[in-house]
Amino acid sequence: MWEPEAWGSSGGWPAPRGARAGPSLSSVLNELPSAATLRYRGPGVLPWGASEEEEENGDRNIQAIAEAAQKELEEPLPSRELPWPLQARRAHRQSHAKDQGAQRSGSRGEQWALWLRRSKEKMKAGLHTLQPWAWTLKRIGGQFGAGTESYFSLLRFLLLLNLLASILKACMTLLPTWLEGTPPGPPSPNASSPCGFYDPNPQSLVAFPTHLFNLLSGEGFLEWSPLFYGFYPPRPHLAVTYLCSVFVIGLLDLLLILHRSVSGLKQTLLAESGALTSFSHRVFTAWDFGLCGDVHARLRQRSILYELQVELEEAVVQRQAAVRTLGQQARVWSVRILLNLLVIALLGAAFYGVYWATGATVDLQEMSLVQEMPLLKLGVDYLPSIFISGVNFLLPPVFKLIAPLEGYTRSRQIVFILLRTVFLRLASLLVLLFSLWNQITCQGKAEAEECKTCGYNYKELPCWETRLGQEMYKLLLFDLLTGLAVTLLIQFPRKLLCGLCPGALGRVVGTQEFQVPDEVLGLIYAQTVVWVGSFFCPLLPLFNTAKFLLLFYLKKFTLFSTCSPASRTFRASAVNFFFPLVLLLGLAISAVPVLYSLFLIPPSKLCGPFRGQSSIWAHIPESIYTLPQTVQDFLFFLGTQAFAVPLLLISSILMAYTLALANSYGRLISELKRQIETEARNKVFLAQRAVALSSARGAL
């Protein structure tokens, strides 16, 4: 039976009553093999549970410990003694064995293989050091917590996606356009066509304010430019590469997001399983003994502090939930149901407002007063974007006030806020696209007078693809402008007010915290807009790359200059998987309008590389018929049941095998956990017996 008095005055390991005459328990435990890892803590570090006398004698051994450490550096240690994970030690042992074999053989081929392997390792290490903003993210995580760091990590990941998409668009769209000759100009306004005429260029001199308004709205000189779909000429090779670029970018983004979500899922499962959430894990294994320098050590201390704060806060909430009575649980669930009904009502009102604003824009643009005043016309053009941004600005704070009333943990609150906000943002975008679809297809009535001739509303939208690209361009640009305005006109003045108003009032008004859910949803919303608009506005990924690059440095400056560490943190592992999951949702939602446009809506007859086709996808089968017969047979075989059925069977077998393997691994892990617990009890028992026997021998 252990009691508090059993702890020694030196803060060492406890000893049982009546056993203090013999060796202490700390001396016995220091003889265990696990105590050998202490030498990796660095020279001068005393063993756990050292007494004051041992501390005085420790200074004499510093020189000896330093000499031993230097010897270990000069002579490579065996793999089993390295302070590395098991997988790293196994890789080190295999690499060391290959190096020794190559050196003994002396053959030129083995020497070349050794050189290539070492060059590959050095290149991998060099690429890891070239990872952008690695030190910045580490500093942010140490000063503001892992939750804030996860936002900047996601921003860096999205910047990589947009950079790759920009390179692919340049190689598959811009390059073929100019390699086949200079693109022709816009169609002549005098050209006769059953689908009317399309003249994007103004016929008279344009004042500078009008140029500025055209830059903001995507009209005028920008409408017939490489920025939008209508500029690209109807060339066979260009049409194929233009369409393939959309699928290549979508597939690449899908694979990268899945890779990121799988790594985040591992962290989430470990955190939620309870195996790594104990406080002893944070206290005894969270420190990195390889850190060098006071700055790195302080950042790691702060990071561990935030992790412990998260664990303590969630433990309090879980303890309160465990002791609730039946009446308290009924009251909590009643409150949750009422709050969710309120959220549904707010979302419904927001969606109706977006639908109304999109329909009212067309009616207002036809008014003579709006057409005569460029500034008013710009405001009408931006009416859907303004309404969507206003809804996205007003409702998330309401969701943030509702979340704490539901009685969830902080990490669960973050997830619910993200779910509601992402549904608001992405559904608002879908409502906007649905309104535009009604305008393009005459509300789905193919027999309507405006759509009967060409299959789309050619009178109002002679080049409907460019119109969709302009809407996505305005959404992205307005999102950037509102972000800059909030930073410069709200956040910085609040910080100045905090400095000018001393006392509690200044602290209350000027104290700001970095709102991770809102910022993350802003990134996902912007990326979804890019995925929707990249087909209709090919240079939109390049524009978003510049926007994210500017946003990174702006948010970093805002974080360190105006924000304070969060008073309530949350577990980063809970959102490291949820962020890519929401990205996948945004990618799936963006694929719906793009695929619908490719397969079902006829392309514009007066602009774009697919003019004259019955559908945008119809150009692909026509291009396949120009290939050799063997290639045609293979491609058409991929779409038959003879290929799909065996593929489905093989996929089912692999899935069943993977599930069975996962279950066996789960049982093995459970058995290993039980063995670890048994070994821990055995060690404590043996240590107690050793101390008792030593005490009895000393008494005799």
Residue 212 lies in a domain: no
Three-class SS of 282-320:
HHHHCCCCCCCCHHHHHHHHHHHHHHHHHHHHHHHHHHH
pLDDT at 76 over 90: no
Q: What is the mean pLDDT of residues 476-494?
A: 84
pLDDT recorded at residue 267: 58
Tokens of 582: 């929401």
pLDDT at 163: 94
Question: 320-347, pLDDT tens digit by residue?
Answer: 777 778 887 788 888 888 888 888 888 8
* pLDDT, position 532: 92
Which range, of 58-72, 123-137, 325-339, 507-521, averages the lowest pLDDT? 58-72
Span 560-583, average pLDDT:
68
Q: Assess if residue 583 is contained within a domain.
A: yes
More confident of the two residues 167 and 134: 167
Distance CA 268, CA 578 (A): 9
Q: Span 149-166, mean pLDDT?
A: 90
According to the per-residue pLDDT averaged within each range, which of 315-324, 445-454, 518-527, 572-581 is highest? 518-527
Per-residue model confidence (pLDDT) at position 86: 59
pLDDT at 158: 92
In a domain, 37, yes or no: no
- Look at the alpha carbons of 640, 641, 642, 643 in this order and tell me if their dihedral is positive or negative: positive
Angle formed at CA 573 by CA 572 and CA 577, multiple of 5 degrees? 115
Mean pLDDT for the stretch of residues 394-410: 79
Least confident window among 20-29, 96-105, 195-204, 488-497: 20-29
Q: How confident is the prediction for the chain on average, in pLDDT? A: 74
What does the alpha-carbon distance between residue 625 and residue 156 come to, in Å, rounded to a whole number? 42
CA dihedral sign of residues 52, 53, 54, 55: positive
Domain annotation covers residue 694: no
Mean pLDDT along residues 684-700:
78
- CB neighbour class for 456 (10 Å; exposed up to 12, middle 13-18, buried from 19): buried
pLDDT at 215 over 60: yes
Range 516-528 burial, b when 16+ CB lie within 10 A, else e: bbbbbbbbbbbbb
Residue 69, CA distances (Å) to 45, 84, 96, 623 in order: 12, 17, 21, 69
Q: Can you give the pLDDT at residue 272? A: 54
Residue 231 gets which letter from DSSP?
A: G
In a domain, 66, yes or no: no
Residue with the larger pLDDT of the pair 104 and 195? 195
**Contact call for residues 298 and 142 (beta carbons, < 8 A):** yes
Indicate the burial class of 388 (C-beta count within 10 angstroms; 0-12, 13-18, 19 or more).
buried
Task: Say which range, 73-77, 178-182, 481-485, has the weakest mean pLDDT.
Answer: 73-77
Instruction: Give residue 162's pLDDT.
Output: 94
At 194, the pLDDT band (50, 70, 90 cuts) reads confident
CB 582 within 8 A of CB 418: yes
Task: Identify the domain containing residue 423 by its residue range.
Answer: 134-187+230-626
Question: In this predicted model, what pLDDT tens digit does every residue of 240-277 receive, in sequence order?
Answer: 899 999 999 999 999 998 888 776 666 555 555 554 44
Is 451 inside a domain boundary?
A: yes
Per-residue pLDDT, 129: 63
Look at residue 508 and tell me if it is in a domain: yes
Give me the pLDDT at residue 700, please.
62
Tell me the pLDDT band of 84, cut-offs 50, 70 and 90: low
pLDDT for residue 507: 60
Q: Is the pLDDT of residue 33 over 60?
A: no
Q: Rounded distance, CA 589 to CA 45, Å?
A: 56
pLDDT at 128: 62
Residue scoring higher pLDDT (63 or 579):
579
Local confidence band at 204 (pLDDT 50, 70, 90 cut-offs): low
Q: 143-147, 532-536, 595-599 — which is least confidently predicted?
A: 143-147
Question: Residue 217 pLDDT > 60, yes or no?
Answer: yes
Query: How does pLDDT run across 622-656, given as a tens digit for each residue?
Result: 888 888 888 888 888 887 888 888 888 998 999 89
Tabulate helix, strand, coil % of the chain (nearest 5).
Answer: 75, 0, 25
What local confidence, expressed as pLDDT, does residue 47 receive?
Answer: 43
Give the whole-angstrom CA distance, residue 134 versus residue 116. Answer: 27
pLDDT at 384 exceeding the cut of 90:
no
Q: Which residue has the higher pLDDT, 285 or 231?
A: 231
**pLDDT score recorded for residue 57:** 47
In a domain, 434, yes or no: yes
State yes or no: pLDDT of 48 exceeds 60.
no
Write down the pLDDT at residue 68: 47
What is the pLDDT at residue 200?
74
Query: Amino acid letter at 576?
Result: N
- The mean pLDDT of 679-686, rounded to a whole number, is 80
In this predicted structure, the answer to whether residue 535 has a pLDDT above a threshold of 80 is yes
Kindly indicate the confidence band of residue 168, based on its pLDDT and cuts at 50, 70 and 90: very high
Place 357 in a pLDDT band, splitting at 50, 70 and 90: confident
3-state DSSP assignment of residue 670 = helix
pLDDT digits (tens, 9 = 90+) for 88-102: 666 767 776 666 665
39 pLDDT band, cuts 50/70/90, is very low
Burial class (CB in 10 A: 0-12, 13-18, 19+), 670: exposed
Domains held by the chain: number = 1
Residue 381 has pLDDT above 80, yes or no: no
Share of the chain above pLDDT 90, in %: 9
The arithmetic mean of pLDDT across residues 659-680, rounded, is 82
Please report where in the chains the tokens 């399309």 appear, as a residue: 198
**pLDDT band at residue 280 under the 50/70/90 scheme:** low
pLDDT (0 to 100) of residue 486: 83
Cβ contacts of residue 581 below 8 Å, gap of 6+?
261
Instruction: Tell me what the mean pLDDT of segment 92-113 comes to.
Output: 66
376: tokens are: 């008013």
